[in-house]
Chain A
């Protein structure tokens, strides 16, 4: 009998043998992340303990990404508590403006193939791009993991998504997820792991692969997983990761559902306001005008997104009345964008940059609140009413290409209609 990637990784970290979906296992984990949005829960759970030492703290990162820079005194104080906790227990610390946890962990070599990485955030599914089982937890689990280096899991069933053919120009991993959301609906893969395979994955760069796994959280996925190939291994090596132990699925593994996507037929898509599974083609969005264009987040704030934005904005101007804000996913991404001259291109076109972090992905960062009756097009991942701090604004979601093209025209635009909109690095 064959096994899925999730069954193998969880099995190898618990019994030493593959386990099957539905089993409950206690597995050793490889790395843990707690971000500032959830740090108070973890610190409160820690206070209940009688013990002081946390043996797993050296493999734990505390990240200040949601409240960066801190919008209130209360959130600034959370950061003070995190710094002090980190110093006492010897955790890794990523301070304000370093970037988003899901970008920082792989970038700094904390993730490798075959690992289990737990985080107080549902977008931990991102780590699956590196053939690692990444999964979201809460404070109690996080404190238990800092003590024991372990976590309990119900082994998930897996949905297999086969991406035949490669992505056509102007279409990105973001559009694949939006397409899947139109099929499964929001949380349509609740409790499950998703494995992505096929030519489209093989031809994607790491940035797009992370988008694919990250955005699976909107499908409700507990984890998303890719097999490792040379692209994965050389990326990990370049970022100082530990030796990879790639895990692949058996050909006769059991899946709860298999679906095939005709990738070359996909087109740029957008999610309409308030519902991430209300999907329409960007070219058929009815030419809705926009006032705020946002590039960023753990889903699409990486270097390839900024390169693509610059390719579209090169020699053009942001439409009158539109504000374009780019928030790089990490300081490293920001610096690369500076060195490549992308920041200059985008700023000459009338765009702006904010320091790295979650930024205007979520209203709690208070980073960019849209006005009432304004329409936002964003490369982030969620668009529920009020997500950006004003329930009277609309948030539409699309790829960085779609956001940049819309910033130029002033309305929701298929990037293939704009010069530079079919750019892709080779």
Chain B
């Protein structure tokens, strides 16, 4: 990857889709209650119960935005895999459940802790991963998120923990 390409991959652009506090991804984005379904089916049902119009609006590259404790009591890493399959470019929330946060990093899904109260569904977002800056472009707003530690960024850049290990066998 050239330096320029690397820089571009650290900037994510997408449209915001807003959810509230305490989203349980075991319920809204996993196969916990549909063990026999494949990932395409689960992805097609994701977040429908929280917002019936979500599936129509959502486009690959968009950003999920939520309030506190996103991924609450969720333990399944399948949720992060489903979101990547859907093309979610990042999840922005005021806080995350520990397990969900960890699973997302391990599966290459950027999770960004940030005060999300000024973001609405439909806002265009530009997220600079290494500095943690979040621009709400049409509102002229710039938010500072908690920047991800270097070690975590390295896993995300590789696309997940197993991909990272392939590139860095001496982790």
* Residues of A near any B CB (own CB < 8 A): 23-26, 41, 45, 48-50, 122, 136-141, 143-144, 147-148, 150, 152, 154, 187, 190-191, 222
A143 to chain B: closest residue by CB: B162
> Is A139 touching B162 in the complex (CB atoms < 8 A)?
no
Q: Which residue of the partner chain, among A138, A144, A150, contacts B75 with CB atoms under 8 Å?
A: A138
* B77 & A144 in contact (Cβ 8 Å cutoff): no
B107 at the binding interface (Cβ < 8 Å) = yes
Q: Is B166 among interface residues, defined by CB-CB distance under 8 A?
A: yes
Query: Is A190 a contact partner of B166 (Cβ separation < 8 A)?
Result: no
A sample of 20 cross-chain residue pairs with beta-carbon separation below 8 angstroms, ordered by A number, consists of A24-B151, A24-B152, A26-B171, A49-B162, A122-B75, A137-B102, A138-B77, A138-B99, A138-B103, A140-B77, A140-B161, A140-B162, A141-B106, A144-B161, A147-B165, A152-B151, A154-B149, A187-B73, A191-B98, A222-B98
Contacts of B162 in A (CB 8 A): 45, 48-49, 140, 143-144
CA of A41 to CA of B76 in the docked complex: distance in angstroms?
9
**Complex: chain A residue closest to B77, CB-CB:** A138
B70 proximity list for chain A (CB < 8 A): none
Q: Write out the residue numbers on chain B whose beta carbons fall within 8 Å of the beta carbon of A45.
A: 162
**Which residues of chain B are near A152, meaning CB under 8 Å?**
151-152, 155, 161
**Chain A residue nearest in CB terms to B149:** A24
- Which residue numbers of B lie inside 8 Å of A, CB to CB? 73, 75-78, 97-99, 102-103, 106-107, 149-152, 155, 160-162, 165-166, 171
By beta carbon, the residue of chain B nearest A137 is: B102
Chain A residues with CB under 8 A of B166:
49-50
**Once bound together, how far apart are the Cα atoms of A96 and B92, in whole Å?**
42
Nearest to B151 among chain A residues (CB) is A24
**Chain B interface secondary structure, helix, strand, loop or mixed?**
helix
Contact B103 A140 (CB under 8 A): yes
A417 to B98, CA, bound (A): 42
- Tell me if B99 and A140 are in contact (CB < 8 A): no
Specify which chain A residues have a CB less than 8 angstroms from the CB of B78 in the assembled complex.
41
A396 to B170, CA, bound (A): 49
Chain B's nearest CB lies how many Å from the CB of A420? 38
Closest CB in chain B relative to A33 CB, distance in Å: 15
A152 to B149, CA, bound (A): 12
Distance in angstroms between the alpha carbons of A144 and B105 in the assembled complex: 13
Assess whether A138 is in contact with B106, with CB atoms less than 8 Å apart: yes
A23 to B152, CA, bound (A): 11
What's the least CB distance linking B130 to chain A, in Å? 15
Residues of A within 8 A of B151 (CB): 24-26, 152
Cβ of B86 to closest chain A Cβ, rounded Å:
18
B73: chain A residues within 8 A (beta carbon): 187
CB distance from B164 to the nearest CB of A (A): 8
Q: Are A141 and B165 in contact (CB under 8 A)?
A: no
Q: Which residue of B lies closest to A156 (CB)?
A: B98
CB-based nearest B residue for A191: B98
Task: Name A38's closest neighbour in chain B (CB-CB).
Answer: B75
Cβ of B18 to closest chain A Cβ, rounded Å: 24
Report the minimum CB–CB distance from B102 to chain A (whole Å): 7
Contact A140–B160 (Cβ < 8 Å): yes
When the two chains form their complex, are residues B106 and A140 in contact, meaning their CB atoms are under 8 A apart? yes
Q: Tell me how far the C-beta of A146 lies from the nearest C-beta in chain B, rounded to whole angstroms.
A: 11
Known: A139-B77, A143-B162. 10 other contacts (CB 8 A): A24-B151, A24-B152, A26-B151, A122-B75, A138-B75, A140-B106, A140-B161, A140-B162, A144-B165, A148-B165
Closest 9 CB pairs of A and B: A24-B149, A140-B106, A138-B77, A24-B151, A144-B161, A148-B171, A191-B98, A140-B161, A138-B103
Contacts of B98 in A (CB 8 A): 190-191, 222
Return B64 CB to nearest CB of chain A, in Å: 20
Least distance between A267 CB and chain B CB atoms (Å): 30
Give the distance to chain B from A189, nearest Cβ to Cβ, in Å: 11
Q: A26-B171, A48-B162 are in contact. Are A141 and B102 (CB under 8 A)?
A: yes
Q: How far is the CA of A191 from the CA of B171 in the complex (A)?
A: 24
